[in-house]
């Protein structure tokens, strides 16, 4: 078997031939198995075996996506689709709607930018005949490319033929503001919404980054109250540690979610994410730190806890070391074991971290702090709170946002400084989130058909939170010049506008486009878009962290933020809804009129339908309308 190649960087036209050779070679040398040659996996990376989880880009979508191309209107020549979060992260501070947008680079780099070979096309077409048997996917005569299917369209371009604009990684936004906009044109216009499945997945790293950042805001408030230097104290960067690797569903999830957390904190035991962020995203500059720590198997491998702790401190002198203390009896360990190892901890120069791993989280932290203060002593800081010598506590069991809040309040109520406690979050950080957490959705907003355009909008009457935005839209930031005229100018929060209004604001140089082009295979690349794509891939993880920090402060609700959706666009949204309502009313009135003329019974979905058994119907207290329906149905039967 040929030696595996390193992961491919985003493809450019100049790399096309070489990319084809590499991918074909990988398929040719893949081990035999239950897969057709076309379906064998791509090269997963240096030193790894071929994976069997991969599939062609053409089938990396929900099944019904492939059928949608035949459903759009004839002569469709352009589609615009956008993705946005529709609600804030639940349970956070009141009126704080801040959302961290992160992760689109991963999905574009690893999937969307792949070079599509003829083998990929054939593999997809073979599979779809098995998956959608007897379903003809060839486009109709009225389409731009009759007689072809979407596999042919992809094979013709060798790249997914759309343009994607997106907020830069680490941007901070609010519900309703697009995170990305997809544009598809001409013969490829029907592919506009196909990438929804893949790109919607940014909900996951964005949700993790948002939860992590809100947790940091919570900890920052406690530091401001009880720690010298407040939130500027460097200890804050290590206060929330990622314990979530083992709770992830796969390694890829640990990498994506773990990296999202590292935008906000340095502490992590998810080495896969730290490695990825360091070498793949930050040019080798270190991202993520950890420390020596015991687990229960270490503690119980010794005859007693005193010996185990003595070994820990002597093996790692001068280090911060964490020790799980509830292997047998947490209270006994605090009351008797901790005093017994006091001299060892001090003489070895260790900073000792007590870790409870069972029981009530608030109670266990307070017990640890009280015992440590009695055994090692403490000093008062400038704010009058106790800072314990040599020892602190980390709570890593059952940690969620609300648990952090409860612990910090209890700690400060007993006059301990918040710097005495840290948190380890596992499943609560990387696992207890889903797409509905912040309700991410991708929707069509604009379509051109046969020379006419439609401002498309979803607006279900029963749920205003699921209304989408109509027409061509743009996200802008206001350029705020400091009163003293100094540079650089300050940028305001992101706001979404109707495109016509947005272009005028940009022309007047009062606002700038928040989005950059991150992918473009439409054939319309300009020097500007090429520069944007290049900078998108070249910026480092440190750059993203800096952007998040700046924008988090810009979007602080205490600053008095403007509405996320511009007033004119909101009016357009309401006007579009009104037109839909009027159209529905007209359809309803016409249906009623025709039904009365022909004595056809009307349907009322709010009235329970009668039970059916054979050719007979059973139901009591029928309304007159339902009796008429029964008469018609009985005659038919």
DSSP 517: E
Average model confidence (pLDDT) across the chain:
87
Strands 440-449 and 351-355: unpaired
Confidence of residue 628 (pLDDT cuts 50, 70, 90): low
Q: What is the C-alpha separation between 356 and 365, in angstroms, rounded?
A: 7
Cβ 269 vs Cβ 243: under 8 Å: yes
* Percent of the chain residues past pLDDT 90, beyond the cut: 72
Confidence of residue 558 (pLDDT cuts 50, 70, 90): very high
Cα angle 363, 369, 375; round to 5 = 135
Q: What is the C-alpha separation between 626 and 592, in angstroms, rounded?
A: 16
Q: What is the C-alpha separation between 254 and 241, in angstroms, rounded?
A: 14
Residue partners of 3: CB distance under 8 A and separation at least 6: none
User: Would you state the pLDDT for residue 486?
Assistant: 66
Q: Which H/E stretch holds residue 321?
A: strand 320-324
Q: What is the pLDDT of residues 465-483, one digit of tens each?
A: 999 999 999 999 999 887 7
Q: What is the C-alpha separation between 102 and 258, in angstroms, rounded?
A: 12
Confidence of residue 41 (pLDDT cuts 50, 70, 90): very low
Domain layout of the chain by residue ranges? 13-54, 60-203+437-474+516-565, 207-430, 475-514, 569-636
User: Would you state the pLDDT for residue 378?
Assistant: 98
Q: Mean pLDDT across the stretch 118-136?
A: 91
Asked if residue 446 has a cis previous peptide bond (ω within 30° of 0), the answer is no
Q: Calculate the alpha carbon distances from 584 to 114, 164, 220, 461, 588 in Å.
A: 44, 34, 51, 11, 6
Nearest residue to 112 via CA among 199, 23, 203: 199
Q: Mean pLDDT across the stretch 288-309?
A: 97
Residue linked to tokens 């280090």:
319
Q: What is the pLDDT of residues 420-452, one digit of tens each?
A: 999 999 999 999 999 999 999 999 999 999 889
Strands 391-395 and 421-425: parallel
Q: Mean pLDDT across the stretch 478-501?
A: 87
Q: What is the pLDDT of residues 334-363, one digit of tens each?
A: 999 999 999 999 999 999 999 999 999 999
Q: What is the pLDDT of residues 130-153, one digit of tens each?
A: 999 999 998 877 777 777 888 888
User: What would the two tokens of residue 475 be?
Assistant: 């996200």
pLDDT at residue 630 tops 80: no
Task: Find the DSSP H helices in 243-360.
Answer: 251-262, 271-275, 296-299, 305-315, 330-332, 338-340, 342-347
Regarding predicted confidence, which is higher, 40 or 622?
622
User: Would you state the pLDDT for residue 589?
Assistant: 80
Q: What is the pLDDT of residues 567-583, one digit of tens each?
A: 999 999 999 999 989 98
Strands 391-395 and 351-355: parallel
Q: Mean pLDDT across the stretch 320-329?
A: 98
Q: What is the C-alpha separation between 2 and 532, in angstroms, rounded?
A: 36
**For 472, how many CA atoms within 13 A lie in the half-sphere containing its CB?**
12
Residue linked to tokens 């450019």:
12
Least confidently predicted of 29-43, 397-411, 441-455: 29-43
Tell me what percent of the chain is helix, strand and coil, each rounded to the nearest 5. 45, 15, 40
pLDDT at residue 32 tops 50: no
Sheet architecture: strand order including 473-480: 490-498, 473-480, 511-513
Q: Which H/E stretch holds residue 628?
A: helix 624-636
Q: Calculate the alpha carbon distances from 252 to 284, 423, 426, 430 in Å.
A: 20, 24, 16, 12
pLDDT at residue 417 tops 90: yes
Confidence of residue 154 (pLDDT cuts 50, 70, 90): confident
Question: Which option is the CATH number for 60-203+437-474+516-565: 3.20.20.70, 3.40.50.300, 3.40.309.10, 3.20.140.10?
Answer: 3.20.140.10
Q: What is the pLDDT of residues 165-203, one digit of tens each?
A: 999 999 999 999 999 999 999 989 999 999 999 999 999
CATH number of 207-430: 3.20.20.70
pLDDT at residue 267 tops 70: yes
441 bridge partner residues:
84
Q: Calculate the alpha carbon distances from 444 to 154, 184, 386 in Å.
A: 21, 11, 56
Q: What is the C-alpha separation between 77 and 71, in angstroms, rounded?
A: 14
Nearest residue to 219 via CA among 477, 405, 343: 405
pLDDT at residue 8 tops 60: no
**Cα 278 to the center of its chain, rounded Å:** 20
Q: What is the C-alpha separation between 345 and 320, in angstroms, rounded?
A: 10
* Percent of the chain residues past pLDDT 70, beyond the cut: 86
């Amino acid at each position: 078997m040929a030696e595996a190649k390193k992961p491919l960087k985003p493809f450019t036209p100049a790399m096309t031939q070489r990319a084809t050779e590499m991918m074909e070679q990988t398929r040719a040398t893949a081990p035999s198995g239950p897969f057709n040659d076309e379906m064998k996996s791509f090269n997963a990376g240096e030193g790894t075996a071929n994976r069997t989880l991969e599939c062609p880009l053409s089938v990396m979508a929900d099944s019904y996506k492939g059928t949608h191309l035949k459903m759009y209107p004839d002569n469709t020549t352009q589609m615009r689709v956008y993705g946005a979060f529709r609600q804030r992260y639940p349970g956070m501070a009141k009126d704080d709607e801040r959302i961290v947008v992160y992760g689109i680079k991963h999905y574009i780099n690893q999937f969307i930018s792949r070079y599509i070979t003829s083998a990929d096309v054939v593999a997809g077409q073979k599979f779809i005949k098995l998956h959608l048997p007897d379903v003809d996917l060839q486009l109709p005569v009225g389409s731009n490319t009759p007689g072809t299917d979407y596999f042919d369209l992809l094979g013709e371009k060798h790249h997914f033929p759309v343009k994607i604009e997106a907020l830069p990684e680490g941007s901070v936004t609010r519900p309703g503001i697009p995170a990305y906009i997809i544009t598809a044109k001409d013969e490829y216009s029907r592919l506009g919404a196909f990438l929804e499945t893949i790109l919607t997945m940014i909900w996951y790293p964005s949700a993790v980054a948002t939860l992590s950042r809100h947790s940091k805001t919570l900890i920052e408030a406690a530091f401001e109250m009880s720690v010298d230097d407040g939130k500027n104290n460097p200890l804050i960067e290590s206060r929330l540690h990622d314990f979530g690797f083992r709770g992830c569903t796969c390694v890829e999830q640990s990498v994506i979610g773990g990296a999202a957390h590292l935008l906000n904190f340095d502490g992590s035991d998810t080495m896969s994410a730290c490695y990825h962020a360091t070498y793949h995203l930050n040019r080798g500059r270190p991202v993520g730190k950890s420390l020596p720590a015991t687990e229960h198997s270490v503690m119980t491998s010794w005859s007693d806890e005193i010996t185990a702790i003595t070994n820990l401190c002597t093996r790692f002198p001068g280090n911060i070391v964490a020790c799980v203390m509830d292997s047998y009896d947490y209270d006994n360990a605090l009351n008797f074991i901790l005093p017994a190892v006091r001299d060892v901890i001090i003489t070895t120069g260790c900073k000792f971290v007590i870790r409870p791993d069972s029981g009530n989280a608030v109670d266990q932290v307070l017990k640890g702090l009280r015992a440590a203060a009695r055994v090692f002593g403490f000093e008062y800081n400038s704010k009058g709170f106790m800072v314990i010598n040599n020892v602190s506590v980390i709570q890593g069991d059952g940690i969620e946002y609300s648990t952090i809040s409860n612990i910090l309040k209890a700690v400060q109520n007993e006059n301990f400084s918040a710097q005495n406690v840290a948190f380890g979050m596992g499943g609560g950080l990387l696992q207890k989130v889903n797409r509905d957490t912040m309700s991410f959705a991708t929707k069509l907003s604009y379509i051109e058909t046969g020379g006419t355009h439609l401002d498309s909008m979803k607006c279900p009457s029963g749920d205003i939170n699921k209304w989408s935005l109509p027409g061509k839209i743009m996200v802008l930031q206001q350029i705020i010049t400091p009163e003293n005229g100094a540079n650089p100018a300050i940028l305001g929060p992101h706001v979404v506008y109707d495109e016509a209004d947005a272009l005028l604001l940009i022309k007047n140089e009062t606002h700038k486009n928040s989005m950059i082009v991150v992918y473009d295979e439409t054939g319309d690349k300009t020097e500007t878009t090429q520069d944007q794509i290049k900078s998108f891939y070249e910026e480092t993880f440190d750059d993203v962290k800096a952007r998040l920090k700046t924008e988090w402060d810009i979007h602080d609700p205490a600053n008095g933020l403007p509405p996320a959706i511009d007033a004119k666009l909101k009016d357009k949204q309401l006007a579009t809804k009104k037109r839909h309502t009027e159209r529905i009313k007209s359809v309803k009135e016409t249906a009623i009129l025709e039904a009365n003329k022909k004595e056809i019974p009307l349907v009322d979905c709010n009235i329970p339908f009668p039970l059916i058994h054979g050719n007979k119907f059973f139901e009591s207290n029928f309304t007159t309308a339902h009796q008429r329906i029964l008469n018609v149905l009985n005659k038919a039967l």
